[in-house]
Chain A
Amino acid sequence: MTLDPEFLKYPMRRKGMDHDLYPAANLFEQPKVTWAGGKKIALWVTVAAEFFPLTPNEGGFRAAGHMATPFPDYRTFTTRDYGNRVAIYRLMDALAKAGVNVTAFTNSALIERTPALIDDIQAAGWEIAALGEDMNAVHYGGLDTALEQQQIETCLSAWADRGVTPKGWMSPGRGQSDVTLSLLKQAGVEWTADWGNDDMPFLMNDGPIAMPYTDEMEDRKCLTALGQDENIWSQQIIGAADLLSKEADTYGGRILHLALTPYVIGQPFRIKFLRDLLKQLMTRDDIWSATGSQICTAWQNNTKA
């Protein structure tokens, strides 16, 4: 048995990254950032408003939360739909009561499917960021570039028709192809939430700014994928806030990203934990609650040479 000799060659082995998407960096050597009011932590709360079609996509990969059983997977489809009908309203009330600014990653398919929900998201003052057309519209290596361009256009033009210009973008399932970043930049997107490799924003070589998406503290990952207790989930977020606040003393303002999924955290038996967590966060004196675009702009203003 012999392996193809290509496996013992390392063509991208060099100083820095093994690709040209962004340069290597050390978080602790970045310029210091100062947030509004001198707060140590920018709290970035995002809500996923997702539409999972009953017939899932076949190419690439299936986004987290998608259909699991053979067709028709009514149990998953309706569980996700519960998020957009019921649970998201619990989140709206809890977030409004705590005075949190919110970014909603929203599938453009919801503009037609659930127009009342889009009205309510806008009335709540949430920032709308793009999330592709629906959770089938994934980006992945091997996707035809013309098709990919079309996916982006379908989504952004639907928002334009609705009178919304999303500055932020998250790809469904956060997947990208080799050219997604440059296509998004060409389409006018200012920042993305696909990259989870830093605690602060950073510049791509040819693409929108990468905002620090923190999947390790997502409700979906912690409470459903890992089956953690709700108290443990919220304790971890408070723990993160404490550490980031301490780091901010030396290294400048930090970002705490909290990703919420209505069908997960908006369940009747869970909503109390979100209310309690938001209260704990919003009564601290070191937190500035802001949308993705507000944080991104503040970061740009701070780091411009």
Chain B
Amino acid sequence: MKDPKLYGHWPYRGRPKVTWPGGKKMAFWVAPNIEFYELNPPKNPHRSPWPRPNPDIVNYAYRDHGNRVGNWRLIEAMEKYNIPGTVSLSVAMCDHFPDMIEQVNALGWEFFSHGAYNTRYIYGMDKEQERETLQHAIDTVKAATGQQVRGYLAPALTHSVHTIELLAELGFTYSCDLFQDDQPQPLNVPGSPLVSMPYSLEVNDHYAYNVFGQSPQQYTDVLKRQFDTLLEEGGTSGTVMCIPIHAYLVGRSHRMGPFEEILRYAEQHKDDIWIARAGDIAEHYLEHHYDEAKAHIANFGGSDDA
């Protein structure tokens, strides 16, 4: 398999500065993953949805806790600190839990596509099938919320070599699928301009809790350090910080209190940061920085004929 050459090498040092609205140093966004995992999904030939045979009720219930309990706690906390979510949405949630989707839509949260279900993987699809799933997500969210989907994070991070170019073809403005940077940047695909949006695995609650075994307070401390460093550097470079979370993790009774601290911390720094939704960050970047970045990247060569 060849390198898909989605972006050229572009050293962090010496880039044209990115400035956020109001002269803010850092764009800050929170990405609640509002997901649905199926009890009896079909078994993708390339990846089994559950570690146990269907119905894997332990792992299913673990996620379902988010939709019965955790999301409601999280929505209340985000509302309390005036932080709008940019939802990484299993779009089938529009059918399963329409009340929750309506509620966060009314709060001004943005939705981007995280596939139909987090148990339906892209692996094995041909390009036409993948295009169909993307169009289906656009249509579902439009019908349920009136919003035009602008962003994407592949369901369960399952990609094909076509994923990124399909996003540009279908008019998406940002992709959260790539983890190479702390700033947005242009992606090298035909179609409408597409930006790689900093999301994060390193400060993702899934990694914090289930991989690194952090405590709720340790996770908050990690997020504060991430925040402090990116804010400081943002004075020179213009940074983006994302907090990617899952209510079935942060919304547990032992974690919600410490998680609220980072929301409060962000609110306390609102004069320095632009608290935004990912689609707004992408839009600002496309309008003010995309062309300059593209021209600057061209100086570095590297990927196109590698």
In angstroms, how far is the closest chain A Cβ from the Cβ of B119? 10
In angstroms, how far is the closest chain A Cβ from the Cβ of B151? 22
CA of A239 to CA of B216 in the docked complex: distance in angstroms?
9
B253 touches A12 (CB 8 A): no
Chain A interface SS verdict (over half): loop
In angstroms, how far is the closest chain B Cβ from the Cβ of A58? 13
B257 touches A239 (CB 8 A): yes
Which of B42, B255, B256 is close to A7, meaning CB atoms less than 8 Å apart? Answer: B42
Say if the beta carbon of A68 comes within 8 Å of chain B: no
Taken residue by residue from 6 to 50, chain A's Cβ proximity to chain B (1 for < 8 Å, 0 otherwise) reads as 111010111111110100111110000000000000000000000
CA of A222 to CA of B65 in the docked complex: distance in angstroms?
18
CA of A77 to CA of B98 in the docked complex: distance in angstroms?
49
CA of A26 to CA of B100 in the docked complex: distance in angstroms?
10
Most chain A CB within 10 A, of B65, B98, B257, is at B65
Residues of A within 8 A of B256 (CB): 243
Q: Contacts A12-B40, A60-B52, A197-B65 known; A236 to B72 CB distance under 8 Å? A: no
Q: Considering the complex, which residues of chain A in the window 54-95 have a beta carbon less than 8 Å from any beta carbon of chain B?
A: 60-61
Residues of A within 8 A of B210 (CB): 226
Residues of A within 8 A of B96 (CB): 13-18, 24
A194 touches B69 (CB 8 A): no
A228 touches B39 (CB 8 A): no
Say if the beta carbon of A188 comes within 8 Å of chain B: no
CA of A235 to CA of B220 in the docked complex: distance in angstroms?
15
Residues of B within 8 A of A240 (CB): 252-254
Q: Contacts A195-B57, A243-B254, A244-B253 known; A215 to B68 CB distance under 8 Å? A: no
Residues of B within 8 A of A178 (CB): 55
Taken residue by residue from 165 to 201, chain A's Cβ proximity to chain B (1 for < 8 Å, 0 otherwise) reads as 0000000011111100000000000000011111100
Taken residue by residue from 212 to 256, chain B's Cβ proximity to chain A (1 for < 8 Å, 0 otherwise) reads as 010111100000000000000000000000000000000011111
CA of A197 to CA of B60 in the docked complex: distance in angstroms?
8
In angstroms, how far is the closest chain A Cβ from the Cβ of B115? 11
Q: Contacts A174-B58, A196-B61 known; A239 to B258 CB distance under 8 Å? A: yes
Residues of A within 8 A of B188 (CB): none
Which of A8, A17, A18, A142 is close to B133, meaning CB atoms less than 8 Å apart? Answer: A8
CA of A119 to CA of B32 in the docked complex: distance in angstroms?
50
Residues of B within 8 A of A174 (CB): 57-58
In angstroms, how far is the closest chain B Cβ from the Cβ of A98? 20
CA of A136 to CA of B102 in the docked complex: distance in angstroms?
45
Say if the beta carbon of B303 comes within 8 Å of chain A: no
Residues of A within 8 A of B92 (CB): 10, 13
Residues of A within 8 A of B98 (CB): 15
In angstroms, how far is the closest chain B Cβ from the Cβ of A146? 18
B39 touches A18 (CB 8 A): yes
Say if the beta carbon of B124 comes within 8 Å of chain A: yes
B55 touches A176 (CB 8 A): yes
A60 touches B126 (CB 8 A): no
Say if the beta carbon of A2 comes within 8 Å of chain B: yes
A217 touches B254 (CB 8 A): yes
CA of A239 to CA of B45 in the docked complex: distance in angstroms?
42
A175 touches B213 (CB 8 A): no
Say if the beta carbon of B305 comes within 8 Å of chain A: no
Residues of B within 8 A of A237 (CB): 254
Residues of A within 8 A of B44 (CB): 3, 7
CA of A27 to CA of B132 in the docked complex: distance in angstroms?
35
Say if the beta carbon of A141 comes within 8 Å of chain B: yes
A175 touches B52 (CB 8 A): yes
Q: Contacts A15-B95, A24-B97 known; A195 to B38 CB distance under 8 Å? A: no
Most chain A CB within 10 A, of B36, B68, B258, is at B68
Residues of B within 8 A of A7 (CB): 42, 44, 120, 124-125, 129
CA of A27 to CA of B75 in the docked complex: distance in angstroms?
13
B55 touches A27 (CB 8 A): no
Say if the beta carbon of B89 comes within 8 Å of chain A: no
B57 touches A1 (CB 8 A): no
Q: Considering the complex, which residues of chain B in the window 150-181 have a beta carbon less than 8 Å from any beta carbon of chain A?
A: none
Residues on B facing A (Cβ under 8 Å): 36, 38-40, 42, 44-45, 51-58, 60-62, 64-65, 67-69, 72, 92, 95-99, 116-117, 120, 123-126, 129, 132-133, 210, 213, 215-218, 252-258
